[in-house]
Copies of this chain bind each other. A is one copy, B any other.
């Protein structure tokens, strides 16, 4: 990418959507970025209104992603990268379209519904030498990166047990048959055809797996799982008994009906020489316990930060 202004386009993410504005804010942390094109909604009025709010030229607000991809790919001031923040079912087709036309792509999760689709997108990005990312954002925390580094350096030895969880409470009302009132799972999120085959495991359980894999390099080898639906079309709670690729054991728990929790992703990794604990609700802290020593509360700030690797 150029070192000057970085241009980007967005597919999905109208003003009423949740995650589009989060991407916009995150990108705005850098001074030299500018949103130049978008196809924010299939609803024409929402689409135009969002484009106007985001200060876009009107002719770069498109009725469809296909039109946007075709038109923008011919411009000299075309976007450097595209952000995809549409409902789950459409991620694959949109990502493929923009990768084919040579745009870098950052796509919301879940990436797709079939392994073969994911492999196709990965191959496409490699062939065209494009950046292609899926937003497993928790691995962006400095202390998660440092946890990974400690594992790589052998500081905790061989991993022997993993205990990780991601409880939330925001869908607790689904349990009592008042879901239609809260409408939290209404629309596409409650429709397996649009949302995909899993809600709790797919939406937040994947963050557990990704964070553990990112830190340890381990893959899940065998699973015994129990998912709870409480009469809803998609899962709201899940417990998993695991064996990892190196033979280590562990459990994953994800829930959207656990009272008292907001985004309580917690990962604890126990090795032969040390242990690590990271908690998303206090993300700048990593607890590292070397074998036979006291726990150290490593913190992105405080004196510790002076010895930290660059972010």
- A residues near B (Cβ < 8 Å) are 5, 21, 24-25, 28-29, 31-32, 34, 53-55, 156, 160-161, 163, 165, 167, 169, 172, 175-176, 224-226, 228, 230, 237, 239-243, 249-251, 253, 255, 257-263, 270-275, 277, 282, 287-299, 301-304, 306-307
A247 CB to nearest chain B CB (Å): 9
Contact B258 A270 (CB under 8 A): yes
Beyond A55-B5, A270-B259, whether A303 also contacts B291 by CB under 8 A is: yes
Interface centre among A5, A28, A230 (most CB of B within 10 A): A28
Can you give 13 A-B contacts (C-beta < 8 A)?
A: A28-B29, A32-B53, A161-B239, A172-B303, A228-B249, A255-B270, A259-B270, A259-B289, A259-B303, A282-B282, A289-B302, A294-B298, A294-B299
Assembled-state Cα–Cα distance A253/B240 (Å): 12
From B31, B287, B293, give the contact of A21 (CB < 8 A). B31
Assembled-state Cα–Cα distance A257/B160 (Å): 9
* Chain B residue contacts of A289, Cβ below 8 A: 259-260, 302-303
A170 CB to nearest chain B CB (Å): 9
Assembled-state Cα–Cα distance A262/B308 (Å): 15
Extra contacts, 12 of them, besides A239-B250, A259-B290 (Cβ < 8 A), are A28-B28, A32-B54, A32-B55, A163-B253, A176-B272, A228-B249, A239-B242, A241-B241, A241-B251, A259-B271, A260-B277, A293-B307
* Chain B residue contacts of A224, Cβ below 8 A: 224, 241
Contact A226 B255 (CB under 8 A): no
Could you say how many copies of this chain the assembly holds?
4
Assembled-state Cα–Cα distance A21/B303 (Å): 23
Assembled-state Cα–Cα distance A306/B307 (Å): 28
Assembled-state Cα–Cα distance A262/B243 (Å): 25
* Chain B residue contacts of A293, Cβ below 8 A: 296, 303-304, 307
A231 CB to nearest chain B CB (Å): 12
Beyond A302-B169, A302-B295, whether A161 also contacts B241 by CB under 8 A is: no
Contact B165 A163 (CB under 8 A): yes
* Chain B residue contacts of A287, Cβ below 8 A: 260
Contact A160 B296 (CB under 8 A): no
Assembled-state Cα–Cα distance A240/B53 (Å): 49
Closest B-chain residue to A304, C-beta based? B294
Contact A258 B161 (CB under 8 A): yes
Assembled-state Cα–Cα distance A240/B251 (Å): 8
Assembled-state Cα–Cα distance A163/B252 (Å): 10
* Chain B residue contacts of A298, Cβ below 8 A: 294
From B29, B290, B297, give the contact of A297 (CB < 8 A). B297
